Amino acid sequence: MRIQIKQLNWPEGNYMIVIARGLLSAAGLEQILTKVTAASLAHTDCKILIDLIEATCTIAPAEIKRLLSELRPDLYPTRNKVALVSPLDDNDHANLSDVSTCLAKYGFRIAVFRDSKAAVDWLAGLA
């Protein structure tokens, strides 16, 4: 899994763009969440777009539960808002929807989208 993170800090708000390519396993998701958390701790109300269009999701539901049982959601900035942009493949989208649902139960403000425009609109509060 290759991950790139760009952080943008403007007077109008704090934004982060994460681009992940390759196989997205539970370890890859953990790596993304760890990097996003570390990068966003200093910024409240950070809006985060995680582009997974060029990733293949290989996370099984059991792995999601295991990962979430090990996560420390209390360390995650809860005022952040995360939009996952999934590959068009239905299985990948379904897996990421499961991930999103599980993370939302832990207080994450998160949603999954099939296209970047809808994700950006949601982050901006337009949708």
pLDDT digits (tens, 9 = 90+) for 13-53: 889 999 999 988 888 888 888 888 887 777 778 899 999 99
Q: How far is Cα 56 from Cα 59, in angstroms, rounded to an integer?
A: 9
**56: pLDDT confidence band, cut at 50, 70 and 90?**
confident
The domain limits of the chain are 2-123
- Angle between the 90-105 and 61-70 helix axes, to the nearest 10 degrees? 30
Q: How far is Cα 118 from Cα 46, in angstroms, rounded to an integer?
A: 18
Query: In terms of DSSP bridges, do strands 13-24 and 2-10 run parallel, antiparallel, or are they unpaired?
Result: antiparallel
3-state DSSP assignment of residue 115: coil
CATH number of 2-123: 3.30.750.24
Residue 68 vs residue 48, higher pLDDT: 48
pLDDT in tens, 95-126: 888 888 888 887 788 999 999 999 999 998 88
C-alpha distance across the termini of the chain, in Å: 30
**74: pLDDT confidence band, cut at 50, 70 and 90?**
low
The strand ranges marked E within 1-127 are: 2-10, 13-24, 46-51, 55-57, 81-85, 109-113
CB 71 within 8 Å of CB 103: no
